[in-house]
């Protein structure tokens, strides 16, 4: 983990969903900080890169007994609400297990923040009408916020890593995510991982809600320009054409995750999320350094794709991908 050293707890910390986009980065950051890490995943596939020091449990958050065993003796646990039909019940299980074990819960989800319950309820009502698929997520985040689990609720903005769902298109010179012509704040999930690890390891960080934002807002055409500069060839923005972004999402995601992404992308094309300097300052304070830029994310991602293509040319494997459940793509054109 970059930034100043932190006072780390010597007790075991638990990552739920360590194969996920955020969970894998939290695991990486915890290991870099020298923590004693336990993970609970539904399958052990895709975890060969982790050192033997990581204690691996295979199980499901639906199984309360399994969760209680995973939570035994841990100082803190990380959980990111997955795109599952029963995500509210899963979150209840996690919150209750943390409360029972006396462990801190560090959580990533979608939250309608505000100074008191009334303001948050009004915001949940308003946002819930705009984005009905977020209603369970808002309810979960409110439940987490009010729990007795010394919770740190992280509120990241739009993930840069969503671009990896559109890898084939990007390499063909198209940026299709409908980020509109005004744009969204974009955060690197590596920073979300670093922020979560800090909150898990440093008991002096008080419970509460914390933003995790990137340094700037990017419109769709601005994202295309960053990819264009990194690739050294033209990348066009096509996000105004719904076909252009629905096809990759339908091809590469399934189930509730696909539905959530489709709904979210229909919505965000109409939104503008300017960068709040106070949120960036709070992110910088939590990380102990400024957040990574979108340009840095794009350059690092391209370098990773290129090194994967060199290591196994034509294999069709996407080595080192952060995304769970996506199909492999050809490594040509990288």
Ligand X SMILES: NC(=O)c1ccc[n+]([C@@H]2O[C@H](COP(=O)([O-])OP(=O)(O)OC[C@H]3O[C@@H](n4cnc5c(N)ncnc54)[C@H](OP(=O)(O)O)[C@@H]3O)[C@@H](O)[C@H]2O)c1
Find all residues with CB under 8 Å of 222, minimum gap 6, and list them: 183
The only residue of 109, 183, 214, 248 in contact with ligand X, by rule CB under 6 A: 109
Q: Of 78, 40, 47, 44, which is closest to residue 62 (Cα–Cα)?
A: 40
Cβ closest to ligand X, residue 58 vs residue 312 = 58
In sequence order, the β-bridge partners of residue 58 are 41
Asked if 41 is part of the footprint of ligand X (rule: CB under 6 A), the reply reads: yes
Among 13, 17, 153, 235, interactor with ligand X by CB under 6 A: 17
Position with the least CB separation from ligand X: 20
Q: How far is the CB of 93 from ligand X (least distance, A)?
A: 9
- The SS3 of residue 219 is coil
Report the residue number, 8 or 279, with the smaller CB distance to ligand X: 279
Q: What's the closest the beta carbon of residue 8 comes to ligand X, in angstroms?
A: 23
Nearer to ligand X, 222 or 309 (CB): 222
Do 257 and 195 touch, CB atoms closer than 8 A? Answer: no
- Candidates 12, 158, 169, 283; binder of ligand X (CB under 6 A) is 158
**Is residue 220 close enough to count as binding ligand X by CB under 6 A?**
no
Measured CA to CA, the distance from residue 242 to residue 238 in angstroms comes to 9
Sequence-separated (6 or more) residues with CB below 8 Å from residue 16: 23, 39, 40, 61, 70, 77, 78, 79, 80, 94
Half-sphere exposure of 177 (CA within 13 A, CB side): 26
193 touches ligand X by CB under 6 A:
no
Query: Is position 21 an interface residue for ligand X (rule: CB under 6 A)?
Result: yes
Sign of CA dihedral 265, 269, 275, 278: negative
Residue 110 in the binding site for ligand X (CB under 6 A): yes
* 244 is an interface residue for ligand X by CB under 6 A: no
Q: CB-wise, 28 or 83, nearer to ligand X?
A: 83
**What is the CB neighbour count within 10 angstroms for residue 247?**
12
Binding residue for ligand X (CB under 6 A) from 76, 80, 217, 228?
Answer: 80
> Residue 162 interacts with ligand X (CB under 6 A)?
yes
190 binds ligand X (CB under 6 A): no
Which range touches ligand X (CB under 6 A), out of 122-130, 155-163, 214-222, 246-254? Answer: 155-163
148 near ligand X, judged by CB under 6 A: no
Residue 254 CA to residue 266 CA, distance in Å, equals 17
Q: CA angle, 31 as apex, 293 and 154 as ends, to 5°?
A: 50
Which residues make Cβ contacts (< 8 Å) with residue 278, sequence separation at least 6?
none
Stretch binding ligand X (CB under 6 A), from 19-27, 227-235, 267-275, 285-293: 19-27
Point out which span in 28-36, 102-110, 222-230, 231-239 binds ligand X (CB under 6 A): 102-110
| Comparison of 60 and 241: residue with beta carbon closer to ligand X | 60
Q: Does 20 bind ligand X (CB under 6 A)?
A: yes
145: how many CB neighbours lie within 10 A of its CB? 18
Residues 273-292 that bind ligand X (CB under 6 A): none
Q: Contacts with ligand X: how many residues (CB under 6 A)?
A: 29
Percent of the chain that is helix, strand, coil (3-state, to 5): 45, 15, 40
**Nearest 5 degrees, angle CA 195-CA 206-CA 104?**
75
User: Applying CB under 6 A, which residues contact ligand X?
Assistant: 16-23, 41-42, 60-62, 80-84, 90, 108-110, 137, 156, 158-159, 162, 257, 324
């Amino acid at each position: 983990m970059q930034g100043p050293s932190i006072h780390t707890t010597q007790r075991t910390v638990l990552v739920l969903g360590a194969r996920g986009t955020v969970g894998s980065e939290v695991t990486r950051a915890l290991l870099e900080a020298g923590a004693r890490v336990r993970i609970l995943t539904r399958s052990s596939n895709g975890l060969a890169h982790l050192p033997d020091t990581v204690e691996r449990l295979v199980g499901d958050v639906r199984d309360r007994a399994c969760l209680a065993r995973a939570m035994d003796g841990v100082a803190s646990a990380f959980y990111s609400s997955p795109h599952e039909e029963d995500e509210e019940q899963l979150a209840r299980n996690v919150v209750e297990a943390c409360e029972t074990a006396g462990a801190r819960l560090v959580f990533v989800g979608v939250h309608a923040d505000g100074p008191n319950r009334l303001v948050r309820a009004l915001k949940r009502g308003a946002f819930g009408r705009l984005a009905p698929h977020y209603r369970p997520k808002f309810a979960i985040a409110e439940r987490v916020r009010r729990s007795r689990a010394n919770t740190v609720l992280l509120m990241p903005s739009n993930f840069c890593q969503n671009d990896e769902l559109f890898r084939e298109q990007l390499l063909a010179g198209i940026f299709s995510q409908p980020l509109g012509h005004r744009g969204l704040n974009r955060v690197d999930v590596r920073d979300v991982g670093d922020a979560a690890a800090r909150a898990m390891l440093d008991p002096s960080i008080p419970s509460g809600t914390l933003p995790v934002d990137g340094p700037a807002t990017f419109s769709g055409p601005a994202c295309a320009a960053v990819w264009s500069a990194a690739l050294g060839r033209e990348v066009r923005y096509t996000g105004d054409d719904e076909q252009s972004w629905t096809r990759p999402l339908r091809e590469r995601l399934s189930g509730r995750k696909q539905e959530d992404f489709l709904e979210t992308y229909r919505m965000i094309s109409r939104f503008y999320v300017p960068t709040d300097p106070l949120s960036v300052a709070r992110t910088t304070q939590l990380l102990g350094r400024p957040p990574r830029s979108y340009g840095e994310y794009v350059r690092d991602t391209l370098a990773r794709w290129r090194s994967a293509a060199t290591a196994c040319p034509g294999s069709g494997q996407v080595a080192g991908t952060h995304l769970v459940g996506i199909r492999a793509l050809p490594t040509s054109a990288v």
